[in-house]
Amino acid sequence: MNPQVFGWEHLTYLAVFLVFAVITLTLIKIYAREEKVQNIIVKVVAGILLALIIWNRICICISNQSWTYIIPNSFCGMSSLVLSLTCLIGKKNNAVMHFVCHVAIVGDILTLAYPDFIGQNPSLFYPNTISGLLHHSFGLYLCVLLLMLRFFVPNYKKWPNLIIGFMAYLTVGAFEISVFGYGDAFYINSPILSGTPLTIWIIAPVFAVGYILFFVIYELIKKRNFRKKSINSENTEPNEKSSNMESSDKSIKETPVRNIENDNASSSEIIVKNTNKNSKKYKLKENKK
């Protein structure tokens, strides 16, 4: 029997990868403090993702007996390719991330939750199946890693990047359909799930609404956290001022006493020295006599 969505193979794979992701991300959060180390980790994960998407496309080319399928024709496949390359070549928080990370997170979560390709072979480790699961998993993993390390910081002012990215994907899809003879690409002609109307012309507006709602919630959370920090800082400042005043008062009270003590000590030493000198002079006079 072939693997099924929400079957034991599917759920076991998700459980194993979830445990792996939680443990490794926690260790990275604790021990990877330096930016140089973080940069190396990001590039290593991006390299793994690039290898996985290339492996997946080669498997698809072999099964379709055509090398024209080497270029991804889905949002998740293209996002895995673009995300891995932008992490390997580009700087952190670059313009491409403000499109591809949003698409990759949504696409990878939906695909891992409902991988409709999982039953194409009796074995879960069929190359097309396992490479597809892995590149979706590591695409999501890399996005979470970028967010955790602040290599990608969401910003609603970068919304034009989303439109430019979508237009670029659709341009590639139109090229694949017209030149390579793909039956469909990026869900331009066919729905993402058979029997539904979910083509790109419906997915794009729904995604845009979700994008807006995400940033409304994100900005509200940011403002709330900022207010908490400002209130905490205001509460700590009076305490610091009072402690500084107390320490200054103590120093003012202590310093005169110390000076008086030092002055008394020094004056007494001078008197003793003078008396010693006078006694010596007196003794010399007596001896002369």
213 within some domain: no
CA 43 to chain centre: 13
- Cβ 148 vs Cβ 30: under 8 Å: no
55 within some domain: yes
pLDDT digits (tens, 9 = 90+) for 82-135: 999 999 999 999 999 999 999 999 999 999 999 999 999 999 999 999 999 999
pLDDT of residue 7: 95
100 within some domain: yes
282 within some domain: no
Q: Is 278 helix (H, G, I), strand (E, B) or coil?
A: helix
Q: How far is CA 76 from CA 26, 60, 110, 115, 142, in A?
A: 26, 14, 10, 12, 13
- Of residues 266 and 67, more confidently modeled: 67
Q: CB-hemisphere CA count at 13 Å for 48?
A: 14
- Cβ 46 vs Cβ 146: under 8 Å: no
Domain interval for residue 165: 8-185
Of 12-26, 59-73, 172-186, 264-278, least confident by mean pLDDT is 264-278
Is it the case that residue 52 has pLDDT exceeding 90? Answer: yes
- Cβ 62 vs Cβ 106: under 8 Å: no
241 within some domain: no
pLDDT of residue 251: 54
277 within some domain: no
198 within some domain: no
Tell me what the pLDDT averaged over the chain comes to: 86
Please choose, from the candidates 73, 145, 132, the residue with its C-alpha nearest in 3D space to the C-alpha of residue 105: 145
Calculate helix-pair angle for 97-113, 159-175, nearest 10 degrees: 70
pLDDT digits (tens, 9 = 90+) for 195-242: 889 999 999 999 999 999 999 999 999 888 888 887 877 776 555 555
153 within some domain: yes
- Rounded to 5, what percent of the chain is helix, strand, coil? 80, 0, 20
| Integer Rg of the chain from CA | 36
- Cβ 25 vs Cβ 144: under 8 Å: yes
Give the number of domains in the chain. 1
Is it the case that residue 256 has pLDDT exceeding 80? Answer: no
* CA pair distance 195, 197, nearest whole angstrom: 7
Percent of the chain at pLDDT above 90?
71
